[in-house]
A and B are shown apart, each in its own frame.
Chain A
Amino acid sequence: MADTPEAVRKSIRTYLLIGAILFGGTILTVLVATQPMLDVGHHGFDAMDCLLGLAIALTKATLVAAVFMHLNHEKKAVYWIFGGSFVFVVALFGLTALAKSDPIRDPLFYGGHSTTPAPLASPTLR
């Protein structure tokens, strides 16, 4: 981590670069979501768009955490504390995944569990 005035001075360019990447990443996310030519997967929003959008967001978040929050040069204690909290986050998302993969079909749980018959010669709802 940049601690001395000289090291801090040297880091300024990095901060500017990261700021620019974050602005660029934001514009990219919006373009991917709004421009048909950048629409991956099916037409409109789908799992591919979701993955791409989250991948860009994750990249941006990693840059903020690594450079602006100095996690690229931190002490072990910080890694343990901050990293440890993600165990709980993963567990929480795991609970949602468990609910989603419940083999007992709930007709009220719309998602991918729908047991409804196919529409009559009409497009399915995505």
Chain B
Amino acid sequence: MEIPYIVTPRKDTGLFNSKIAIWLFLASEVMLFGGFFSAYVFLRLGADYPWPERTLPVLPGLINTFVLIGSSVTVVFAWASLKMRQWGRFRLFMGITVACAALFMVLKALEYNVKFHHQAVRLKDYTVIEGHLGYEKDGEEYVKDHHGNKIEENRIQIETSGLTFNTVRYHKEWVEELVSQAEHRKSRIVLAADVSAVTGEGKPAEILAKAGDPLSVDLLDRIRKAHLDARAHNGSLRTASLREEWAKAKNENPGKRGWQIASGVNIDTAAIAPRLLTEIATVAFKVEPPAHFDFKPRDIKEADGQSRLRDDTLVDGKLLESPMGFHFVDAIDFRHLAMKAVEKGQDPMVAISNSWLIKNDAFAREAWEWHKGEVAKLEKELIDGYGYGKDGKPKREPTAKERYRIGWQELAKKAESEGAPNLGFGGWVIEQFKGPNYDARGGKTFPSLEVPREEVAFASKFTPSWNTYYAIYFTITGLHGLHVIGGALVLAYYLFFGRKMYETNPEWLANRVEVGGLFWHFVDLIWIFAFPIFYLM
């Protein structure tokens, strides 16, 4: 069957069909990305924390922009080559385009990887510390968990004596992990009391599980099934009872409207009580003997006495000291603290000098004093360069970021001024892609720090959970990356499987490449906005 209008245009639209289709698709894409960019503006304007402007390293973003622009040129050349019936040139240009797409994704993966391994913590006084977490060590050896993995120094540790699971929400992987941790510590998690329930109407209560039964996913699954069956059964009974009562009330009050009799209609609880089955919303276990369990901070709302996991599991026990151990601190950010101080009408500098970090860490104090000197130098430079305005104030002043943030470049500069080695241009380029070079610069530049758990308000890697900036950054760049992959696959298909079509109907292939190229230009177009917005603003 011949497909119509793949080469010749339709009379009504003046376009071949796939072209109108791609424009319709691109129109929907404009609305999709327009929505996300609009969300970005909204989040930025409404942020209740200092927006991390110009926070991403520019070089990888710049190279990626060059790569995409270059590929936009080569894809149009590939199309032009087909139009001029030059198969060899088409392959060359399309090959470069696909290679550019691969390079773009490699650079993006590097960038994401740095973010996923970079830790940030916001203290309760709004100081933000960034850096690299360490792993627990025993002398020179890394401590490993029962899975053989190194233990990151950011675990909540609880001397656990009891666990109460929500029978609907329990997370199977966590149950298995708890059992595994208990076994590793020569402890057992067992049912605290018999679980008995009426599982059928008119039946006596039966014991579903006995006190002392070990915790397992199967056991919880069984109890959950009984609970959900009971809930469904009891729900039906209550609904039926309510219907019955409603019908009775209608009969007894002819002519009255529903809302007039509604307040007097209730479920006859006494009548249905003997028929109800037992719902088991929670089930308690004890840990014998109490054992020390590790939890990831994001999974638990910790407290001494009773903590709560995200799946509503209650953890009874003593909260042990669980400090957050930075192997290397690479940035100290007082912007949020300063913003909060300004909101309260306080002097930010006084608030900073009263912060936990400045009071408790000698390196932070030293770095802050050094930084204040740098800011003073900058203030002088700006006054010398731009002078004062009519109001007597300097025309240009350091930004909040310059005043209140000591980034890793500043820490490196400080260390270099004190004799630490300069890594040179090559080192700078590598750090642009891989983040601060902890090994080469060492602890003199990036010191270690232990933050007591009670000082931690929120901790996260640089993932969408850290703040709305990273949430929208990953959303837009991630979606854009998927478009790059999709577009590259289509273009690669033309490159590797287009020969046959070229020999039979070259104009059709040219039209297909034009359509693929339109999509590719659109991908470039999105990046043209994403680059300055995320990397430069």
Chains A and B are bound partners = yes
> Does B41 sit at the interface, judged by CB under 8 A?
yes
Alpha-carbon separation in the docked complex, A9 to B26 (Å): 27
* Contact indicator A5/B73 (Cβ below 8 Å): no
Question: In the assembled complex, which residues on chain B have CB atoms less than 8 Å from the CB atom of A86?
Answer: 30, 34
A75 with B347: CB separation less than 8 A: no
Judge whether A114 and B85 touch: CB under 8 Å.
no
Evaluate whether A120 and B77 lie within 8 angstroms (CB atoms) in the complex, with A26-B65, A30-B58, A44-B402 already known: no
Contact A12 B77 (CB under 8 A): yes
- What number of A-B contacts does a CB cutoff of 8 Å give? 198
- Asked if A11 is an interface residue, CB under 8 A from chain B, the answer is yes
A33 and B537 within 8 A (CB): yes
B45:A119 contact, CB within 8 angstroms: no
Any B CB within 8 A of the CB of A125: yes
Kindly report which residue of chain A lies nearest to residue B507, judged by CB atoms.
A3
- Contact between chains at B69 and A77 (CB < 8 Å): no
Q: How far is the CB of A5 from chain B (nearest CB, A)?
A: 5
B83–chain A nearest beta-carbon distance, Å: 4
How many Å lie between the Cα of A89 and that of B37 in the bound state? 9
A96→B42 contact, CB < 8 A: yes
- The distance in angstroms between the C-alpha atoms of A117 and B345, with both chains bound, is 6
Interface: B479 (CB within 8 A) = no
Q: How far is the CA of A9 from the CA of B77 in the complex (A)?
A: 10
Measured between beta carbons, the chain A residues less than 8 angstroms from B50 are 125
B80 at interface by CB-CB < 8 Å: yes
Contacts of A120 in B (CB 8 A): 345-347
| Chain B interfacial residues counted at CB < 8 A | 73
| Residue B70 is within 8 A (CB to CB) of chain A in the complex | yes
Residue from A19, A34, A123 with most neighbouring chain B CB atoms (10 Å): A123
Question: B residues within 8 A CB of A121?
Answer: 347
Say yes or no: A61 contacts B53, CB within 8 Å. Answer: no
Q: Is A81 an interface residue (CB 8 A)?
A: yes
Contact A42 B46 (CB under 8 A): no
CA distance A19 to B142 in the complex (A): 52
- A93 neighbours in B (Cβ, 8 Å): 34, 38, 41
Q: Assuming the A-B contacts A78-B15, A117-B345, A122-B348, are A65 and B69 also in contact, with contact meaning beta carbons closer than 8 angstroms in the complex?
A: no
Shortest Cβ gap from A33 to chain B (Å)? 4
Q: In this assembly, does A95 line the interface, its C-beta being within 8 Å of a C-beta of chain B?
A: yes
- Asked if B62 and A26 make an inter-chain contact with CB atoms under 8 angstroms apart, the answer reads yes
A77's nearest neighbour on chain B, judged by CB, is B13
Query: Which residues in window 485-537 of B have CB below 8 A to A?
Result: 517-518, 521-522, 524-525, 528-529, 531-532, 536-537
Contact A61 B528 (CB under 8 A): yes
Contacts of B69 in A (CB 8 A): 19, 22-23, 26
Evaluate contact between B35 and A45: CB separation under 8 angstroms. Answer: no
B397 at the interface (CB under 8 A from A): yes
Is the CB–CB distance between B14 and A75 below 8 Å?
yes
For B13, give the chain A residue with the smallest CB separation. A77
Annotate A60-87 by CB proximity to B: 1 below 8 A, 0 otherwise: 1100110011000001111001101110
Q: Is A8 an interface residue (CB 8 A)?
A: yes
Give the chain B neighbours of A112 by CB distance below 8 A: 45
Is B54 a contact of A33 with CB atoms below 8 Å?
yes
- Complex Cα spacing A75 to B62, Å: 34
Residue A38, interface by CB 8 Å: no
Chain B contacts for A119, CB-based, 8 A: 341-342, 345-348
CB of B39, distance to nearest CB on chain A (Å): 8
Q: Are A45 and B53 in contact (CB under 8 A)?
A: yes
Please report which residues of chain B, range 23-60, place their CB below 8 angstroms from some CB of chain A when the two chains form the complex.
23-24, 26-28, 30-31, 34-35, 38, 41-42, 45-50, 53-54, 58
Contact A43 B399 (CB under 8 A): yes
Known: A5-B84, A122-B348. A43 touches B42 (CB 8 A): no
The residue in B23, B77, B341, B382 that gathers the most chain A C-beta atoms within 10 A of its C-beta is B23
Are A57's CB and B528's CB within 8 A? yes
The listed residue (B15, B349, B399, B521) touching A122 by CB distance below 8 A is B349
Cross-chain contact B58 with A96 (CB below 8 angstroms): no
When distances are taken between beta carbons in the complex, the residues of chain B under 8 Å from A2 are 80, 83
Among candidates B26, B45, B70, B524, residue contacting A82 with C-beta atoms closer than 8 Å: B26
Distance, CA A88 to CA B517, complexed state (A): 25
Residue B129 CB within 8 A of the other chain: no
When each residue 58-99 of chain B gets 1 if its CB lies under 8 Å from chain A and 0 otherwise, what string results? 100010011001101100110010011100000000000000
B525 contact set on A, CB distance < 8 A:
61, 64-65
Contact A126-B400, Cβ < 8 Å, known A26-B66, A30-B536: yes
Q: Which residues of B contact A122 (CB under 8 A)?
A: 342, 347-349
A68:B15 contact, CB within 8 angstroms: no
**CB-CB < 8 A to B342: which residues of A?**
116, 119, 122, 124-125
Assess the A15–B518 pair: CB atoms within 8 A: no
Q: Which of B328-345 contact A (CB under 8 A)?
A: 335, 338-339, 341-345
- 30 sample A-B contacts, Cβ–Cβ < 8 Å, listed by A number: A4-B83, A5-B83, A5-B85, A8-B80, A18-B73, A19-B69, A19-B72, A19-B73, A22-B69, A26-B531, A30-B62, A33-B58, A42-B396, A43-B382, A53-B536, A54-B532, A65-B525, A68-B72, A78-B15, A84-B27, A86-B34, A89-B35, A92-B35, A95-B38, A96-B45, A112-B45, A119-B348, A120-B346, A122-B348, A123-B400
Given contacts A44-B401, A89-B34, 7 further A-B contacts (CB under 8 A): A15-B80, A43-B382, A61-B525, A68-B517, A89-B30, A109-B45, A119-B345
Task: Give the 8 A-B CB pairs with smallest separation, nearest first.
Answer: A89-B34, A44-B399, A85-B27, A43-B396, A33-B536, A19-B73, A92-B38, A75-B14
